[in-house]
Amino acid sequence: VCDASRLSQEERALVLRETAQASVIVLTMVYQDGTAQLNAEQKSCPPVSGVLVLLKSELDAMESEGCSAGLPGSEGSGCKVIFLKLEQRPAWAQQGYRQDRFSKEMLLCILGSAQDVICFKAKDLLCTALQYFGKEISWKQVALCRILDPQIAAWLLDPADTASCFWDLVAKRCKTRAAVKPCAGAREFEQQPNVSGSLLVLYRLMMDLRASLQEQGLWKLFCSVELRLTTVLAVMEIHRIHVDKDALEKTSKILGMKLKQLEQEAHQAAGQQFLVSSSSQLRVVLFEKLRLHERCENKKLPKTVLRQQQSTSEATLMQLQDLHPLPKIILEYRQVHKIKSAYVDGILSCMISPFYNPKWGNTSSAVTGPITSKKPNIQAIPRQSIQIIKKQYVQGKEPEVITIHPRSMFISEEGWTFLAADFSQVELRLLAHLSSDPELLRVFQEPLAAGDVFISLASQWKGLPEGKLKPEDREQAKRIVYSVVYGAGKERLSEILGLTAEQAGQFVDSFLQKYKQVRAFTQKTIQQCQDQGCVVSIMGRRRHLPHILSPDWTLRNQAERQAVNFVVQGSAADLCKMAMIRIFSHIASSPTLTARLIAQIHDELLFEVEDSQVEEFAGVVQTTMESLQHIDCFGVHLKVPLRVMLSSGKSWGSLAELARPRSLPHRL
DNA sequence: TTTCAGACGCTAGG
DNA sequence: CCTAGCGTCTG
């Protein structure tokens, strides 16, 4: 290993030339505690010390076949390992800029081109690199980079096996492993300080994974979706969102007071002290002390899944609220408590600097394929605001009503605007496409599709004109549709709808009667899963469901629902990922556009756009997203058009719908 | 006796 | 159906 800081000017130039010409580059980050990205799962991420770069100038087929002796220490010809020191220094201390500059130059050389690079946990590396570059280099300069990440490759091969550490992956996926380390256990090998040897193993691992991906026809999906998404996510993660910290702190206090007040009310209603947030204590009060369940024997109260006890869930409390004041109080308590703990205090604890900036992590490893957000979970921040009535104890003052909306705490920067683009009813549209149900297709294909889909669906289903429908009809139609999409049974639906299982079952039946092909699609999917052991999404993503043939009725039924659910949800995830990539590329290749992707809330993309570019960019987003009806390279041709709703505003909580540009008619 | 990880319950999002 | 995350309760 050669330390870049010890190289002479001439040697550095040579290394840069070699980098540009290298056939393969393998990278890993090294942390200040001496561990690397390849070491076992680290809980806390220690500060970065640098990057190890392995340059491989010639791609010898022999080696990847496993024919060479290939002991980790004795790299064959054409290999060079360089250590790049990466240290964040305060701006005033940038004196050692020479070495600094070389590291940056080198990294840019590696990440700025489109050559193949291999890195385990590529997104982390990209994030640190981007942060290291700071403002000197625009993210657009690394927008084209392609980092092959074995973790993602393995996940694509089998989404079920949870993200394992590097050495587990090697053990599981490396066919040439025997040649690499004849008898040593992974642990022992891991202890070895020979990181450059590990880099060679990393290279082999990726080659083997590539072979598996190619065998299974997943290579294209890997390269043109997952790989490119890594960059999109890294750039998104670097961007910081402005949060109104003062307002958050203020609401935290208000909510705290409200909780105390509700707690007292609950104690009073119950006639005793108890821990309101504890479901087990609440169970005792509701069913042993007050015996409320005896007063509603006609209704079936839900039980907890594992212990078959009386549940205290929302569904139960809703049914009990006419019998006693307590359930209502608990419901409100829980709602307020949830908002306070997860979305106000939770966000506050995620903020780093005293002023603002929440950071959001993003992993690409969930079973169904969608991206998920963490710390805070931006995807689960309540859509609607809640009303809080603050009692005034000062004489003569009216009770004050306060609205609390966690989303409105997210504010755009000065001179910038939030733009949200929402794929309307993607899942339902996909269901229409996948099932080819004529009635369902008609809902979307008719020119009147400009209206509310659920209203037309409800009217079609119930045989009533749209004007005669009540809002409940729409809501019911929506819930039934999604429970069918999600594969929920009638028991589950009855809970959601607050009806008996029989009634719910009737609804589902009458729905499936009207849309016959939907049931056919469900059965076809299950059949396919039974035949092949897996189901496939619209762009070729797979999920293996071994339980589909299980003799256990519960397991098999679950697998059947998962199969159907995966095809619809997984395909929706595909479309959203594709949308992110396309829009990202568009911005990256535009010299003027500066819009940044901030968050993805499943079927909604949230951008921060310079005020002057909102109109132009809105057009780009809409055309790009709606054009995903046809994705030629994946053979995707949806039978229904895709619709995108746009809205914009200065805060995430107050977005106003944007008029649809004239140039984009409702239908082509 | 105290502490802490893991199981369980609930609910926000889609 | 599948996420994340907060809170109790248990051993």
Distance CA A297, CA A637 (A): 52
Q: Output the pLDDT for position A218.
A: 93
Give, in words, the CATH class of A415-426+535-667: alpha beta
- At A60, is the secondary structure helix, strand, or coil? coil
Q: Can you tell me which residue has its alpha carbon closest to the C1' of nucleotide B11?
A: A338
Comparing every residue's Cα with the C1' atom of nucleotide B8, the nearest one is A306
More confident site: A91 or A159: A159
Query: Nearest residue to nucleotide C5 when comparing alpha carbons to its C1'?
Result: A342
Least confidently predicted of A178-182, A361-365, A583-587: A178-182
| Chain mean position to CA A169 | 23
Name the closest nucleotide to A280, judged by C1' and CA.
C8
Residue closest to B7 C1′ by Cα: A306
CA of A381 to C1' of C5 (A): 11
* Residue A351 DSSP one-character state: B
Decide: A74 and A90 in contact? Cβ < 8 Å: no
A408, amino acid identity = S
Of A228-232, A292-296, A573-577, least confident by mean pLDDT is A292-296
Q: What is the mean pLDDT of residues A215-225?
A: 93
Output the distance from A280 CA to B8 C1' rounded to whole Å: 10
Rounded to whole angstroms, the Cα distance separating A368 from A658 reads 32
Q: Using the structure, give the distance in angstroms from the CA atom of A56 to the C1' atom of C3, rounded to a whole number.
A: 40
Q: Which residue is nearest to nucleotide C7 (CA to C1')?
A: A277
Domain ranges of chain A: 2-62+78-182+194-238, 242-410, 415-426+535-667, 438-514
A87, A91, A97, A101: CA torsion to nearest 10: 70
Footprint of strand C on the protein (CB under 7 A): A 275, 277-278, 280-281, 337-338, 341-342, 345-346, 349, 363, 366-368, 372-377, 379-380, 486-488, 492, 558, 561-562, 565, 569
Nearest to A630 by CA among A578, A666, A565, A665: A578
Residue nearest to nucleotide B9 (CA to C1'): A279
Nearest residue to A616 (alpha-carbon basis) of A588, A597, A599, A593 = A593
The Cβ-side half-sphere exposure at A471, using a 13 Å CA radius, reads: 0
What residues contact residue A88 under an 8 Å CB cut-off, 6+ apart?
A: A47, A48, A131, A132
CA of A591 to C1' of B8 (A): 53
DSSP code, position A638: -
The Cα A202–Cα A205 span in angstroms is 5
Q: Which residue is nearest to nucleotide B14 (CA to C1')?
A: A602
Phi, psi torsion values for A317, nearest 5 degrees: -60, -35
Q: What is the DSSP letter of A134?
A: T
Please write the tens of the pLDDT for every residue from A320-331: 888 888 888 888
The SS3 call for residue A287 is helix
Residue given tokens 């590329």 in the structure block = A585
Per-residue pLDDT of A167-185, as tens digits, reads 777 887 777 654 454 334 4
Taking the CA of residue A256 and the C1' sugar atom of nucleotide B2, their distance in angstroms comes to 29
Distance A540 CA to B5 C1' (A): 39
Q: Residue A366 CA to C5 C1' — how many Å?
A: 16
Of A322-326, A407-411, A447-451, the poorest mean pLDDT is in A447-451
- Nucleotides of chain B within 7 Å of a protein C-beta? 7-14
CA geometry: angle A564, A565, A567, nearest 5 deg? 70
Higher pLDDT among residues A609 and A57, named by residue: A609
CA of A81: how far to CAs of A197, A493, A584, in Å? 10, 59, 33
Q: Are A22 and A56 in contact (CB under 8 A)?
A: yes
Options 3.40.50.2300, 1.25.40.340, 3.40.190.10, 1.20.1060.10; CATH of A242-410: 1.20.1060.10
CA of residue A345 to C1' of nucleotide B2, angstroms: 28
Strand partners, A387: A403
How many of the other CB atoms lie within 10 Å of CB of A246?
A: 11
Q: Which fold has domain A2-62+78-182+194-238?
A: Nucleotidyltransferase; domain 5 (3.30.420)
pLDDT confidence bin for A156, thresholds 50/70/90: confident
